[in-house]
Structure 1
């Protein structure tokens, strides 16, 4: 029996976004700024909803859960990517790489289902406003949020488990800025058939099923809006959905472009660009989309600022 000399990889080197030395510092500053805005924006949204009693509704509980997912997703990816701009070699241990892959999958899948849950919430609010408090009770909302997180982490378990069963012995350089599926599969010297089938089937399920839920919800929403006789009522109904539609378009557009096309079709540059969009840019934009286009959030923010400034002024006098 001929023995094959195979060396198992214990650490990887992340190739990063670019190898151009002149772009390292500008990109570091840009993405550091993006990450800080993302964390402050999403945590700010969570705190605002937590301390504003007028925002204690299922719609905003779902929004705060989306903000938590976005904050976690960005934290899983961005800090390690920033290291690539300031170090000669961005080394990531095997176990840390597998953990990053698992949490990236979990939060990306959770975001898909959270956007679907938010679409269903808007459908109930517009189509059945009189039954909204019964249909979307706090208990139902809590179960929906738990289901979203459960779906994310359960769906990520199988791909992560079979990824850890692969043998990596070709190279240890990942041609990406994080431990993503296809760049890791490229490095494997064992069969990746199960991984590819899982990726396609779970990817299709977790992108298409929420997308169908969102599309169906908005078809019913449009029908309900058309039955509203007053122009003001139609505009108010549409304005409650416009932020969510924009968030869905940004996230699903970039995700579908990345994962629902054959790997032979997408180039490395396109994959990185698409990944930057939904792992880094979209988590930053979501709080802006929901705050700038939402009157209730603006009013709650003003009230919270006034309350904080009043208490700080009062404490100075004492």
Structure 2
């Protein structure tokens, strides 16, 4: 059943049927004719087809793995304010790393319900990459923070490996000699690169990370890192330890566990996190961390996405923003004296 069939039955033009469907002004008598025809013919409007006629929705979609992670807050602020300044609104979605959910969200591009997508998770699954390439979605998608080089998408990020190298070098510089790494089980790019940078810094200083000192977590949460740190402390004594967590969320759980066991921070165990979320400044002691320019990551992601949309550019770009080591009480040299 097509709109032309309704128009013919009602004795009006297809344009008039469209006006009725879109609740635009028509004569009441004409409206009744069209509505009767729709009912009689059991016509269901094909809104997907009408969406395909749109040239611009004025909406950008930003996808994160988990909305609850506080790391995303300043990035979302940068995205929203920049998008609004350019005449766009944003939709926030979470895929929870589900392939099917991510594919559903990407379908919004085909329906022209959104003009572009900012992805904040690793795109490596074959079905998703095939969809992006087959449907030429790469000229309407950029990746922010999390990325892989091989997927033909532009990305805005920091040098995660270099930042982790600096974190390890800092722990070495304050005299730590036994090192621990808390990272994610899933192969997120940020976790992989931060691990590489940490281990490389240790090797460059003649130190090897012991296998049993690499703690691999199933989920990114304070609860999980607190649990795993407690297990570690119940099974061995740690002294002069340098602990690196690939996320502040993990670092906060580690500090809580150390405090409950009355382990002196940073004397017995110094801790460095990553991301500089707001909570990291108010832990007791406050958490030394690598600061990412969250707002700028969001801002540059929107600018890059709109550049691609407006210019039709499909040449992927990798934009690296600066990071900073923020030294706080959890590694403060003064506390070591």
TM-score w.r.t. structure 1 length? 0.27
Larger Rg: 2
Which protein is richer in helix relative to its size? 1
Which of the pair has the greater relative contact order for Cα pairs under 8 Å at 6+ separation?
Answer: 1
Which protein is richer in strand relative to its size? 2
